[in-house]
């Protein structure tokens, strides 16, 4: 796990797929390749239908199988913050990383014949900014944070809700 995490408040997500578009517009992932994806999960149990969306990107594993399996060293993990990224010039397009990843996260770019994936927009992070998907999320349901801060704020919200309900 990189030191960062992108969290999603499902209640505020409207499945508008702006995150996917903002990512594609910035990262030019190639036709059919999505570094992040909003997955729809719906159920029509009465009386209220559930129509939710789950944000899925790369987990930036602590021990990334994609990195282990890459024969050229193109798939790398950044030492300073654990971001897993592809060094484009070294990728030969063997797709081993796609096979190795339990969630098939690395994406195939048919235009370049190489693999690309979410690097949390690390150029933006290095400039003190947040990933494109988070920065421009239509409803603000995505947050760029750290696991500890995410846990803290979720607990705070829960506690407030608890008291709100009791009042």
Partner 1 sequence: MKETKYSICGMCAVRCPIAVQVEEGKPVWIEGNSHDGGMGRSLCAKGGAAFSQRLDRQRPLTPLLRMGERGEGQWREASWDEAYEYITSRLKPILAEHGGRAIMFSDRGGPFADLRQAFVKSLGSPNYINHDCTCGRNVHHASKSVYGLGRKDFAYDYENTRHLVLFGRNITESLKVKEVKSFLKGVKKGAHVTYVDPRASITAGKASRYWQIKPGTDYALLLGIARCLIDNHWYDQDFVARYVTGLQEFKTFLQPYTLEWAAAETGIPAAEIEAFCREINEDRPKVIFHPGWMLARYRDSFYASRIIHILNALMGSIEQPGGLFYPKGPKDAGKKGLKSLAALVPAVTEERADGCGTRYPQWDKGAGMLQTAYEAIDSGIPYPVKAYFIHRHNPLIAMPDPAEQQRILNKLDLIVAVDVHFSESAWFADVILPENTFLERDDILRTEKGLKPGFGRRQQCVKPLNNTRAGWEIYLELAQRLGKGEYFPFQSMEDIWQYQLQDTGLTLADFDAKGFVKLSDKALWFDRDQLKFGTESGKIEFINSKWEAMGVASLPPYVAPDEPPAGSFRLLFGRCGYQAHGQHQNNPILSELLDVNTLWINTKAAKQLGIKDKDQVLVSSGDARGTIAARVTDLIHPQAVFMLHGFGTDVRAKKRSFGKGLADHIFMHGKLKEWDQAGGGLNLAESFVTVTPVPSTGEIR
Which residues in the 25-44 window bind partner 1 by CB under 8 A? 25-26, 31-32, 42, 44
Beta 75-77 vs 50-56: how paired, if at all? unpaired
Residue range at the interface with partner 1 (CB under 8 A); choices 16-24, 62-70, 76-84, 106-114: 16-24
What single DSSP character describes residue 43?
Answer: E
What single DSSP character describes residue 74?
Answer: -
Nearest-CA neighbor of 123 among 83, 89, 63, 91?
83
What is the Cα–Cα distance from 155 to 160, expressed in whole angstroms? 9
Q: How far is the CB of 112 from partner 1 (least distance, A)?
A: 16
Residue bearing tokens 């499945």: 15
Residue range at the interface with partner 1 (CB under 8 A); choices 46-54, 73-81, 96-104, 147-155: 46-54
Residue range at the interface with partner 1 (CB under 8 A); choices 75-83, 99-107, 113-121, 129-137: 129-137
Binding site for partner 1 (CB under 8 A): 11-12, 14-18, 20-22, 24-26, 31-32, 42, 44, 47-52, 135-140, 164
């Amino acid at each position: 796990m990189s030191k960062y995490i992108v969290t999603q408040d499902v209640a505020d997500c409207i499945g508008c797929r702006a995150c996917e578009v903002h990512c594609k517009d910035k990262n030019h992932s190639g036709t059919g390749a999505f570094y992040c994806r909003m997955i729809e999960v719906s159920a029509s149990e009465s009386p209220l239908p559930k129509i939710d969306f789950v944000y899925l990107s790369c987990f930036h594993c602590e021990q990334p199988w994609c990195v282990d399996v890459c024969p050229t060293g193109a798939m790398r993990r950044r030492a300073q913050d654990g971001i897993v990224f592809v060094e484009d010039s070294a990728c030969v397009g063997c797709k081993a990383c796609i096979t190795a990843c339990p969630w098939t996260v690395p994406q195939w770019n048919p235009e370049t014949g190489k693999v690309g994936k979410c690097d949390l927009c690390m150029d933006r992070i290095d400039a003190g900014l947040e990933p494109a998907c988070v920065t421009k999320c239509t409803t603000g349901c995505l947050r760029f944070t750290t696991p500890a801060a995410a846990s803290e704020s979720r607990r705070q919200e829960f506690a407030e809700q608890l008291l709100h309900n009791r009042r």
